[in-house]
A and B are shown apart, each in its own frame.
Chain A
Amino acid sequence: MSNIIIILAIFGWAILTYIAFRLNKTLGNIFVGLIAVALPVYYFTYVPEDYSFQVMGLTLQFGFTSFSSLFAILVVILGALTLLYSIPYMNKKDRLGWFYLNFLFSIGGMLGILMSKDFVSLFIFWEIMTWSSYLIVIFSGKKVNKVGVKYMVYSAIGAYAMLMAIVLINKWSGTTNISHFFETFADYSNGAKILSSLLLLTAFAVKSALMPLHVWAPNAYTNSPMSYTSLFSGALSKMGIYGMALVAIMLYTNTGMKFFGEALAWLGAITAVLATFWAVFQTDIRKLLAYSSIGQLGYIAVGLGIGTELGVMAALFLALLHGLFKGILFMAAGAIEYRTGKTDFSELRGLIWKMPVTFFSALVAIIALAGMPPLSGLISKWLIYEALLSSEHYFLIILIFLSSTAAFLYCFHFLYGVFLGQREDDIEDVKEAPALMLVPMVLMSFGLLALGTFPGLIFKHISSSMSYLGFNDVTWEMSVLTNEWGNKIYLTHLNTMFMVVFAVFFVIITLVARKKTRRVGTKDIANAGEPILAEDNYHFSQDFYKPFWRVISPVMKYRIETFYNSFANGIGEFFQFFRRVYTGNGQTYALYVVIFLTILFIVGATLI
């Protein structure tokens, strides 16, 4: 069976699901569940086969490469889990058929991108992915123009940059085949090299929300239903990373244009720092996670930009990992929204007592995000630092460190603001999220836990996919990390040590304190001797990190968005001026005709 069938099957299934939902909601949900199960099963059992055909005189070619299949794994797994999660999450909403139609279209679009071996089909699927995700961004019907059109416009800028690159590549290489482009790239003139690679980079940078092209992302992530945002941030943005990796490695690192790789790395680092700073000051959990996503994607860009083996390893590992933990976090945000209807820190508190499983998953994800042992986040962080150290990026590493230290701030804010703090009566009716929403989160948490000690499980795939990019296929041990200077860390020892000590003390303190512990509510606290009344709540939710804001506010004043907006307005005003040409007066139009005729005569007499 050829590759393209899987895509067509998904699109076809999307339409069937739409019809099913028109008939009956339960039937529709069954359809969604079926594809969620079928997707991974089909993907991991079928034998890939290349396929190509002619359209409009262009050859479209399909087939996975060892590199793209790495991302396909992420898409398939995360796609299946988010679909499952969607079933209860979206159940109360209307227009479900429309939602799943676009959901499946974007999954199909993503797989299509990864399957494309030529630029035209890449672009087609890229655009299908874009508009289907756009339709989900505006699905809620809120802020459709402010958020939706903005998303579409930035996506279009990216996509059209790609389109321009494609037609130029078609001219210079004579074909739109991707690998042929990489092969002939060395023969391009310098201008052509720079132009084509920068255009492609722009296209991919938009999708992966690299500053200064990130402006659409926070709102788009926030505005779409959380079940989709999991996929959006977790997998869809990785399509940008996929392309960026190809550009950074195949075009920059492998052809000696290191300067551009460095620039990409610096952009990534700046993105990581600024996005993290913004995330720290968000008051909406969804926005916090959105900015955090942008920051994480910045790290990935750093790894790709420096282009050493460890760097790319780190980037790809983080790309997969980010899919998992950001998937969990957005799902957790969705679960909270589903049960409480609130997403603002000022309205949420104390959910740990009501949603312990959600809390556990979110905690695991946050630890992974922060990069702390014993979870897999440490590995991604470690790889990226080692890569930066061994390639002697003195200042880049400081930026990255600043960003990941500042990330602790929002990590705590998220956990504290939502799950901890002073409990209030308004959460008494809140229940734990439905099982079908918890299962994906818990599954992914276990994934993070497993990878924390045994990253070799996925290193094997990453390493073999990196051979496509021209790196050696290095064999990594199951749980030992080695840097370029031969320094190692033994994850089993680290994690076992930590967990054993923890367990020993846990047993001791639990046993010793078993009977003597007095369990009290969160209002029974030391408060200078003054009891807290039932109607008071001392939960700390306003002006979180105010001191930190005072420190960095000089930097945060400048927002690129303001500049873009005034630029867009400027264009609008510019054309307002042209509107005056159309006066609505017939005499003026007649005058134009005469003037045009005169000019034409003059031009004709001189030029022709």
Chain B
Amino acid sequence: MDIWKLLLTGSVTTVLAFVVGMLYMGLRRKITARVQNRVGPPIYQNFLDVMKLWSKKSSINHGFMQHVAPLWMIATSITTLMFIPILNNGSTFFTNLTFEGDLIMLLYLMVVGSLGMALGAGQTGNPNSAIGVTRGLTQMVGFEIPWVMALVALMIQHRTTTVAGLLDVQVQSGTWLMLSSPFAFIAALLAIPGMFRYSPFDIVGAPAELASGPISEFGGKYLGTMMTNGAIFAFVKLTLFVDIFMGGASNLGFLLLKTFALYMFPVLWGLVSPRFRTEQAVRFFWGWPVFFGVLGLIQAAI
């Protein structure tokens, strides 16, 4: 393991993830605005926001856990990013730590950030934050089930637990897993909006109810870090999904195309749906998505 190479490629990957994530979020704001018949901010608005937040002179701190929460989150996102194959053509540049972890580990790694967030939000003393966290955790119990069902179906069917392994399967057979395992794909796809927490699943932040929930006490550098993290993490989720179900991408152009197409699914859904209540969200995920997940498992078993 060449530590310097990892440092270089890792940084490049991180910057890429950050930029792409930021642009996607900017696009979302733009699209949302256009649908709502507004002009909307420029696409690069999020970059400005982060810069503004980072350069803010003061930040309010309620305690140590709040201090470390954003770091915790961003450490999680970047670590996760390192374990995800960006391209499927065996390019050594974006390999990072791809071959040193597997999906089960990733599943757990991806929630570490939420725990940090939850603790930080908890320490602020704002009841809205804690309520937001409980909602988020509850929703997570909802969407993780179809998501895991889909992954389990694929993992057992192809007898591998690594993302790289699933990518190989698709490269070699030439068929995307979303086509060969449609039920698992549908289950996973339906879980995606829950992960992105866009409407109708924006119950964690819920601006009108919880005053943006867990992040309501974070400002300045803390919020800046969190936004950075959000961009990277969005890229992580999209890339992971594309890798697993959509054959990955042989170059960055395809990667952007596929991830953007996927990203549009929660975004567009969100545009036309009002917010669920928490229990409705869980019931939703345990309804049709789980049904498709079961079908996917049965398909894998047969």
Contacts and interface: CB of A to CB of B under 8 A. Distances in A.
Task: Verify whether A and B have any Cβ pair under 8 Å.
Answer: yes
Interface in B56-101: 57-65, 67-68, 70-72, 74-76, 78-79, 82-83, 97, 99-101
B134 A544 contact: yes
A390 B157 CA distance: 10
B297 A487 contact: no
A358 to B, nearest CB: 14
B211 interface: yes
Given A547-B279, A550-B279, A540 B127 contact: yes
Contacts of B155: 389
B301 interface: yes
Interface residues of B, number: 82
Contact of B124 (A372, A382, A525): A525
B75 A502 contact: yes
A545 interface: yes
A499 B68 CA distance: 12
Nearest to B297: A394
B1 A493 contact: yes
Contact of A394 (B65, B115, B152): B152
Contacts of A415: 119, 122
Interface stretch (A228-236, A261-269, A417-425): A417-425
A483 B161 contact: yes
Contact of A367 (B74, B82, B115, B278): B115
Interface stretch (B15-23, B214-222, B236-244, B258-266): B214-222
B156 interface: yes
Contact of A502 (B64, B71, B101): B71
A485 B125 contact: no
B300 interface: yes
A497 B134 CA distance: 29
Nearest to B290: A398
B122 A420 contact: yes
Contacts of B105: 373, 378, 382, 489, 494
Contacts of B286: 551
A489 B101 contact: yes
B229 to A, nearest CB: 10
Interface string B237-271: 00000000000000000000000000000000000
Contact of B65 (A420, A493, A518): A420
B189 interface: no
Contacts of A505: 70-71, 74-75, 225
A498 B108 contact: no
Contacts of B137: 408-409, 412, 545
Contact of B125 (A372, A389, A413, A522): A522
A124 to B, nearest CB: 43
A41 B64 CA distance: 39
A402 B152 CA distance: 13
Contacts of B134: 409, 412-413, 540, 544-545
Nearest to B125: A522
Contacts of A373: 105, 108-109, 112
Contacts of B293: 398
B279 A551 contact: yes
Contact of A423 (B101, B125, B149, B211): B125
B63 A352 contact: yes
B9 interface: no
Interface string A281-300: 00000000000000000000
Given A420-B125, A551-B282, 18 more contacts: A370-B115, A373-B108, A389-B152, A389-B156, A394-B152, A394-B153, A401-B144, A402-B144, A412-B122, A423-B125, A488-B100, A494-B101, A516-B59, A524-B62, A539-B125, A540-B131, A548-B141, A551-B283
Interface of B: 1, 57-65, 67-68, 70-72, 74-76, 78-79, 82-83, 97, 99-102, 104-105, 108-109, 111-112, 114-115, 118-119, 122-127, 130-131, 133-135, 137-138, 140-141, 144-145, 148-149, 152-153, 155-156, 159-162, 165, 211, 216-217, 220-222, 225, 277-279, 282-283, 286, 293, 297, 300-301
26 contacts: A370-B111, A372-B109, A381-B108, A386-B161, A394-B156, A398-B148, A406-B141, A408-B137, A408-B140, A421-B130, A485-B161, A487-B162, A487-B165, A493-B97, A501-B74, A505-B71, A509-B221, A516-B57, A517-B60, A517-B61, A524-B62, A525-B217, A526-B217, A538-B127, A545-B134, A550-B279
Interface of A: 350, 352-353, 363, 367, 370-373, 378, 381-382, 385-386, 389-390, 392, 394-395, 397-398, 401-402, 405-406, 408-409, 411-413, 415-416, 420-423, 483, 485, 487-490, 493-494, 497-499, 501-502, 505-506, 509-510, 512-513, 516-528, 538-540, 544-545, 547-548, 550-551
